Every structure is written in structure tokens, then in C-alpha cells.
């Protein structure tokens, strides 16, 4: 009887440890995921200024030009501005640290999750000679994980889209998104009476409205993380009453 009870307790403990292991594996947000990466077929070391996130020329040089297009991670534009640590797996050529890239575009090539800027692809390597070897390969096996975005001495900036037409149509992009949360909703609020309007997401990271409120305007941004936690954040930036296309605030 005692031996049977001991066996039952041992089996229960084993099942508990197994369930705990799989639960932790399923919710691991810092684990690396295996995939493949290519690079933009251009001689330019930076990214593209026509990326689907709508960042324009800013998207080519953001993060020192270490940017990337992604396929599934684009998530209809929600993935724009997210940061990922990417490292290739060939120990002969690849560094342990890899490179941190910012998502600025949507695309795929040769069953890849990432299309890096040429400069970022080269920084996967240990040395300049190794970088040349990686570039010659064109596509490499990688592992990646999401990390926090950091922009020292930078604050969130609102860039009013060049296609905006005062006072009928307002579109803007949010630059320098810190941390590892997604911006999943944006409200535009009248500064005087705090009446808010939910904006539409168009062209990746561009938020738009065809009937912007009048007067000085403030924003409310909904930040969401991988665990489903959400919180509204009000940046210090206000959009002035007489906003103009191309303006930064």
C-alpha cells in the first residue's frame, strides 16, 4: 500500500513538472524562434523609403539603418515599429549577438520572415570578411526574438503625413515608439473639452481621419503587450490648431 502511494505521488509530481514546463514554453516571450532571413537587393546599406509602414525616408535611416521588412510579423501594420534581435546560426560566419532591427516594411522572400537592410544583414557577421560571405549567400538561417526598442535622448514624435489636407483630412505617423508593446489604437482628442475620436489605421503605422476635430489636439494611444495587458498613454505632444502637412510635433 505504501509503495503504491509513493508511486502515485511520484507520478503526480512528474505530471505537474511536465505541465509546468510546457506552460512556460508556451508563454515564453524571450525565447528565440527559428526562421530565415534575406536582404534588400540594393546597394544601399539602409532600408527602403517606400516601406509599407508609411515611415517614408525616416524609415530608411531609423535605428542607424538597421531595419527590416517582415511577413507574418507585420500583422496588418500592428507590427510596425517593433524591434527584434536577429542572429544567424552559422557559427563559422555569425556573431552571437546578431543585430537589433526595427520593422518598417512588409514583404517576404524565399520563405523568410525577415528581409533586412543590407547593412543590418552584414552586421549579423563576426567580421567584415564574414559579412561578405553572408551577403554572397543571400539567404541564411536565423533565430529571432522580440526585444524592447530604445532611442536614447529621443521622445515620441508625431509626424503629420505629407498627404494631410488642413482642415479636411489628417494623417500622421508615430516615431520613436519605445519598449516592446504594440500601439493597437489611437484617439484624437480636443484639448478643450477632451472629446475623443477613434482613428483609422491605414498604410501600416499611419493613423488617419477624414473629419479631424478643431482646435489644439492631443492623443491617447493604447499600448498592448503579448500577454494581453492594455493601457492608455497620453504623450506630451499636442497637435496645434493650425497643423500643416509634413510638420513634426
* Residue pLDDT, tens place only, 135-169: 999 999 999 999 999 999 999 999 999 999 999 99
pLDDT in tens, 162-206: 999 999 999 999 999 999 999 999 999 998 888 999 999 988 999
Band of residue 43 on the pLDDT scale cut at 50, 70, 90: low
Other beta carbons within 10 Å of 233 = 12
What is residue 223's predicted lDDT score, i.e. its pLDDT? 97
Three-state DSSP string of 4-61: HHHHHHHHHHHHHHHHHHHHHHHCCCCCCEEEEEEECCCCCCCCCCCCCCCCCCHHHH
pLDDT value of position 192:
83
Residue 6 CA to its chain's centroid (Å): 51
Residue 10 has pLDDT above 80, yes or no: no
Does residue 167 have a cis peptide bond before it, meaning omega lies within 30 degrees of 0?
yes
Q: What is the pLDDT of residues 65-101, one digit of tens each?
A: 999 999 999 999 999 999 999 999 999 999 999 999 9
Contact between 190 and 214 under an 8 Å Cβ cutoff? The reply is yes
| Angle of CA points 59, 188, 183, to nearest 5° | 45
Amino acid at each position: 500500500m505504501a509503495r503504491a502511494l509513493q508511486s502515485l505521488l511520484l507520478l503526480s509530481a512528474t505530471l505537474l513538472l511536465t505541465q509546468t514546463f510546457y506552460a512556460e514554453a508556451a508563454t515564453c516571450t524571450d525565447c528565440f524562434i527559428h526562421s530565415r532571413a534575406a536582404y534588400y537587393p540594393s546597394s544601399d546599406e539602409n532600408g527602403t523609403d517606400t516601406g509599407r509602414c508609411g515611415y517614408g525616408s525616416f524609415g530608411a535611416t531609423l535605428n542607424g539603418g538597421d531595419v527590416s521588412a517582415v511577413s507574418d510579423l507585420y500583422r496588418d501594420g500592428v507590427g510596425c515599429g517593433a524591434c527584434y534581435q536577429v542572429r544567424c546560426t552559422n557559427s563559422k560566419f555569425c556573431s552571437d549577438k546578431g543585430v537589433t532591427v526595427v520593422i518598417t516594411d512588409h514583404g517576404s522572400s524565399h520563405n523568410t520572415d525577415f528581409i533586412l537592410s543590407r547593412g543590418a544583414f552584414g552586421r549579423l557577421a563576426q567580421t567584415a570578411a564574414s559579412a561578405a560571405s553572408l551577403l554572397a549567400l543571400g539567404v541564411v538561417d536565423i533565430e529571432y526574438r522580440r526585444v524592447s526598442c530604445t532611442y536614447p535622448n529621443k521622445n515620441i514624435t508625431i509626424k503629420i503625413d505629407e498627404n494631410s489636407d488642413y482642415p479636411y483630412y489628417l494623417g500622421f505617423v508615430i516615431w520613436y515608439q519605445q519598449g516592446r508593446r504594440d500601439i493597437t489604437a489611437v484617439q484624437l482628442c480636443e484639448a478643450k473639452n477632451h472629446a475623443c475620436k477613434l482613428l483609422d489605421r491605414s498604410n501600416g503605422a499611419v493613423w488617419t481621419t477624414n473629419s479631424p476635430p478643431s482646435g489644439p489636439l492631443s492623443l491617447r494611444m493604447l499600448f498592448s503587450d503579448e500577454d494581453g495587458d492594455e493601457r492608455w498613454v497620453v504623450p506630451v505632444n499636442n497637435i496645434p490648431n493650425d497643423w500643416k502637412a509634413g510638420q513634426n510635433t
